[in-house]
Amino acid sequence: MVVGVSLVVFFVIRLGGDPAFLLLSADATESDRARFAHEQGFDRPIHVQYAVFVQRALQGDLGRSLRYRQPALPLVLERLPATMELAFAALVVSLIVAIPAGVISAVRRDTAYDNLTMLGALFGQSMPVFWLGIMLILVFSVRLELLPTSGRGGFAHLILPALTLGLYSTARVTRLVRAGMLDVIGQDYIRTAWAKGLPDRRVIFKHALRNTLIPVITIIGLELGTLLGGAVITETVFAWPGMGRLAVTAIFQRDYPLVQATVLVTALLFVLSNLLVDLLYGWLDPRIRYT
Amino acid sequence: MPPTRADAAPLSPRSGLGRLLSALVRKRVRAAGLVIVTLNVVVALLAPAISPHDPLDQDVARRLLPPAWLAGGGPEHLLGTDQLGRDILSRIIHGSRVSLLIGLLSVLLSLPVGVCLGLLAGYFTGRLDDITMRIADVQLAFPFILLAITIAGVLGPSLRNVILILAVGGWVIYARLARGQVLSLREKEFIEAARSLGGGSFRILFRHVLPNVASPIIVVGTFAVAQMILLESSLSFLGLGVQPPTPSWGGMLNDGRAYITVAWWLTTFPGAAIMLTVLGINFVGDWLRDLLDPRLQSV
């Protein structure tokens, strides 16, 4: 998997033009360019370039950023905490809202509450992340002057970006929690639980919700990937100094090694989070065993 | 779905008022979806005829005019003008063409490819299946938007490239869906009957299997159009999609962002256009799902 990811990243980035042209000034001579290409290894056959790339990557060396003239990996890792902070805050926002909303929706299926929640979720899923961000800035920063428009700092800086990034997930998770809950509520053991006169709260939280959590955890794993992707845009809107913004600037500057490092680290995080989810299953559902 | 506890008050799913409200919401939603989508298509088709101004006409003397109902605005520019004095309403009308074109084309390009690959992989299994699904896995290991901006950055942003990128990104979902369906269908009696009557593999796949997997694919494809429009607007917003001066909703938001403190209408209206369009298509998708394939709970 990781090999595939590295292959894709490596070749996609080389689809474009010659970085020697873009990085050197216009009056650079032909020999300047050749020397630069040679120094950077751009003149070697592409499979050799890839082999070198993999060999170095395994040693934690993802090349040097062409712009910053520093090793790329530390540059990316330096931005990692900011992105993680944002993604986790967004995840927390979405779970806090989505799980209760989805559960109530399922339990009160087909009521006005349920329909309005689902309508709201559909609205949430239809809203472009960056637009929501801009609208929040417009209302809370420009009009009400309550919260800062951009940058990273204290808690106040985190609120708008986290809400922005969290909304899309909230909408999706709500729908999924509801669907999962409906599935479980239809099962015989839930009827049994009710039949023996357990209070509603106990049936819903102890019996139904716990069994709904398995699919929900899967989604959260996937959601983390979506959040990391969404962070690219949210970070751009709020000038949040994370990996996403680094990637966007690096792309505009044709800083290939840096783009490579950012995309690789993000994909790796994504794969890791899915692994973590697999491990969580066993804890949540003792019926699942790893052999 | 067996009834839960229809008689117990706190959990009874339908009170009279609730049922009435929910029926109303549902009906309205369907109608709204169809209306929005139809309106969008009509507007996109007739854009040059109905837009009040040329979307590219600049008039620096009339820049950043507010919408008609605010002080300083006039009936000349209903939704105001942007930083170059271009009419926002006209740009939104023309922007709908880009959005719909990209949304539809990218799905129309990727859906058949994905479905064919999925059908073949699921039917023949073996090597082909392994390879296809491995590629799909790798592709799913990236947040798609990150891959998209990387490719757009490398290839250079243009309308054609955006469509290509979105098409390349889209096939996985159809392939997986089709494959899953085929795997469960291929052992069914009617397929076996077709096979024992001497039907060739391709005949079986396209005459007998395909019609049976069509409904979930249509539903997923509908939602995908909405998704693609959102992605396109994100790319354009980052400056990696459709390039100026072609009006696109994402691009307008990108331009308007710098003027957020002085002119809210630059960002509010194009974003609302994106949301309404996507919402309309999602409504239609929801409706199609209920109609065609009620088992598909959540996509």
Instruction: Tell me the three-class secondary structure of A32-85, residue by residue.
Output: HHHHHHHHHCCCCCHHHHHHHHHHHHHCCCCCECCCCCCEHHHHHHHHHHHHHH
Given a cut of 80, whether residue A52 has pLDDT beyond it is no
Query: Residue B240 has which token pair?
Result: 């990696």
Cα–Cα distance for residue pair B292/B296, rounded to 1 Å: 9
Contact by Cβ (8 Å): B265, B67: yes
User: Among A8-22, A134-148, A226-240, whose mean pLDDT is lowest?
Assistant: A8-22
Q: With 80 as the cut, is the pLDDT of residue A201 above it?
A: no
Per the CB < 8 Å rule, is B142 touching A138? no
Q: State the pLDDT at residue A290.
A: 57
Structure confidence at residue A72 as a pLDDT band (50, 70, 90): confident
pLDDT category at B298 given cuts 50, 70, 90 is very low
Tokens representing residue A212 in the block: 């709904």
Q: How far apart are CA B33 and CA B181, in angstroms?
A: 28
> What is the per-residue pLDDT for B113?
93
Whether pLDDT at A44 is above 80: no
* Residue with more model confidence, A199 or B225: B225
Q: SS3 of A17, please?
A: coil
Length of chain B: 299
User: Which residue type does B198 have?
Assistant: G
The chain-wide mean pLDDT, for chain A, equals 79
pLDDT in tens, A214-244: 777 777 777 777 788 788 888 888 888 888 8
Nearest to B234 among A8, A226, A233 (CB): A233
Q: Which of A131, A247, A270 sits opposite B253 (nearest CB)?
A: A131
Residue range B78-126, pLDDT digits in tens: 888 887 878 888 899 998 998 999 999 999 999 999 999 999 988 887 8
CA distance B75 to chain A (A): 25
Q: Which range has the top average pLDDT, B27-31, B72-76, B115-119?
A: B115-119
Q: Tell me the helices (H) and strands (E) count for chain A, helix number first.
A: 13, 0
**Which residues on chain A are in Cβ contact (under 8 Å) with B1?**
182, 186
DSSP state of B52: S
Greater confidence (B293 vs B193) lies with B193
pLDDT number for residue A66: 74
Checking if the pLDDT of B5 tops 70, the result is no
Highest mean pLDDT among A65-79, B46-60, B244-258: B244-258
Do the chains contact at A123 and B268, CB–CB below 8 Å?
no
Residue B3 is predicted with a pLDDT of 42
Q: Touching check for A247 and chain B: CB below 8 Å?
A: yes
Is the pLDDT confidence value at A165 over 50? yes
C-beta of residue B116 within 8 angstroms of C-beta of residue B106: no
Q: Are B169 and B230 in contact (CB under 8 A)?
A: no
Q: Do A126 and B226 touch (CB under 8 A)?
A: yes
**pLDDT at residue B281 in the model:** 92
Q: Report which of A130, A118, A126, A228 is spatially closest to residue A173, judged by C-alpha positions.
A: A118
Which amino acid makes up residue B100?
L
- Which two three-digit tokens encode residue B207? 């005459």
Q: Which of B22, B139, B238 sits opposite A110 (nearest CB)?
A: B22
What pLDDT does residue B273 have?
92
> First CA to last CA across chain A, in angstroms?
21
Instruction: Report how far residue A208's alpha carbon sits from residue A185's, in angstroms, rounded to the nearest whole number.
Output: 6
Q: What is the mean pLDDT of residues B156-182?
A: 88
Residue B163 CA to residue B150 CA, distance in Å, equals 14
Is the pLDDT at A50 greater than 70, yes or no? yes
Q: What is the pTM of this model?
A: 0.83
Contact B141 A191 (CB under 8 A): no
Does A233 reach chain B within 8 Å, measured CB to CB? Answer: yes
Most confident among A33-47, A145-159, A197-211, B79-93 (mean pLDDT): B79-93
Mean pLDDT of A159-164: 88
Query: Above 80 in pLDDT, residue A179?
Result: yes
Average pLDDT across chain B, whole number: 82
Contacts of A130 in chain B (CB under 8 A): 233-234, 237, 250, 253
**How far A107 CA sits from the closest chain B CA (Å)?**
6
Residue A93 pLDDT more than 80?
yes
- Chain B residue with CA closest to A3: the answer is B138
Under an 8 A CB cutoff, do A111 and B147 touch? no
Whole-number pLDDT of residue B4: 43
Q: Measured between beta carbons, which residues in chain B are less than 8 angstroms from residue A138?
A: 260, 264, 267-268
Do A138 and B267 lie within an 8 Å CB cutoff? yes
Q: Which of A27-31, A197-201, B114-118, B124-128 has the highest mean pLDDT?
A: B114-118
Rounded to whole angstroms, the Cα distance separating B185 from B209 reads 7
Burial of B104 (C-beta count, 10 Å sphere; 0-12/13-18/19+): middle
Subunit contact A251:B149, Cβ cutoff 8 A: yes
* Helix, strand and coil percent figures for chain A, each rounded to 5: 75, 0, 20
Q: Which residue of B has its CA nearest to A243?
A: B146
Q: Please name the residues between 115 and 134 in chain A that touch chain B, using a CB distance below 8 Å.
A: 115-116, 119, 122-123, 125-131, 134
The residue-averaged pLDDT of A83-105 equals: 88
What pLDDT does residue A156 have?
Answer: 76
- Residues B88, B263: Cα–Cα separation, whole Å: 12
Contact by Cβ (8 Å): B151, A12: yes
Ranges A44-48, A117-121, A154-158, B226-230: which has the least confidence:
A44-48
Return the minimum-mean-pLDDT range out of A31-40, A162-171, B63-72, B272-281. A31-40
Q: Tokens in use for A159?
A: 């609120």
Helix boundaries (H) for B77-209: 88-124, 126-140, 144-155, 159-185, 189-196, 201-203
Query: How does residue B9 score in pLDDT terms, banded at 50, 70 and 90?
Result: very low
Highest mean pLDDT among A88-102, B128-142, B191-205: A88-102
Instruction: Report the percentage of chain B scoring pLDDT > 90.
Output: 17
Per the structure block, which two tokens stand in for B13? 């799913």
What is the distance, to the nearest Å, from the Cα of residue A246 to the centroid of all Cα atoms in its chain? 15
Contact B150 A12 (CB under 8 A): yes
Mutate to test the interface with A, among B5, B142, B172, B277 (most CBs of A within 10 A): B142
CB contact under 8 A, B13 and A109: yes
* Chain A touched by B194 (CB under 8 Å): no
Instruction: Provide, as residue numbers in chain A, all residues whose Cβ is less than 8 Å from the Cβ of B156.
Output: 16
* For residue A247, pLDDT beyond 80: yes
CB interface of B with A, residues 198-257, below 8 Å: 226, 230, 233-234, 237-240, 250, 253, 257
Give the one of B4, B143, B264 whose C-beta lies nearest to A270's C-beta. B143
B11 pLDDT higher than 50: no
Average pLDDT over residues B228-254: 88
What share of chain A has pLDDT > 90, as a percent?
A: 0
Q: Do A179 and B267 touch (CB under 8 A)?
A: no
Please give the Cα distance from A64 to A217 (Å, whole number).
37
Q: Residue A136 is encoded by which pair of tokens?
A: 């929040």
Residue range A48-58: mean pLDDT, rounded:
76
Confidence of residue B24 (pLDDT cuts 50, 70, 90): low
Closest approach of A25 to chain B, Cα-based (Å) = 20
pLDDT above 50 for A126: yes
Given a cut of 90, is residue B15 above it in pLDDT? no
* Six token digits for residue A239: 């000038």
User: What is the average pLDDT across B177-187?
Assistant: 85
Number of helical H runs and strand E runs in chain B: 11, 0
pLDDT range class, residue B7, cuts 50, 70, 90: very low
Phi, psi at B81, each rounded to 5°? -125, 160
Residue A78: the pLDDT is 87
Question: Pick from A130, A148, A141: which is nearest to B267 by CA?
Answer: A130
Backbone angles phi and psi of B30, in degrees to 5 = -60, -50
Of A23-27, B38-42, B94-98, B240-244, minimum mean pLDDT range: A23-27
A–B CB contacts, 8 A cutoff, strictly below: 184
Query: CB of A189 within 8 Å of any CB in chain B?
Result: no
Binary contact (B15, A111; C-beta < 8 A): yes
Please say if the pLDDT value at position B274 is more than 90. yes
| Count of other CB atoms within 10 angstroms of residue B38 | 12
Mean pLDDT on B16-45:
77
Contact A4 B138 (CB under 8 A): yes
> Which position has the higher pLDDT, A155 or A231?
A231
Q: What percent of chain A has pLDDT over 70?
A: 88
pLDDT confidence of residue A24? 57
Angle between helices A243-252 and A256-284 (to 10 degrees): 150
For residue B188, give both structure tokens: 């069914």
Is residue A97 left, alpha or beta, with left meaning phi > 0 and alpha meaning psi from -120 to 50?
A: alpha
Backbone angles phi, psi at A64, to 5 degrees: -110, 140
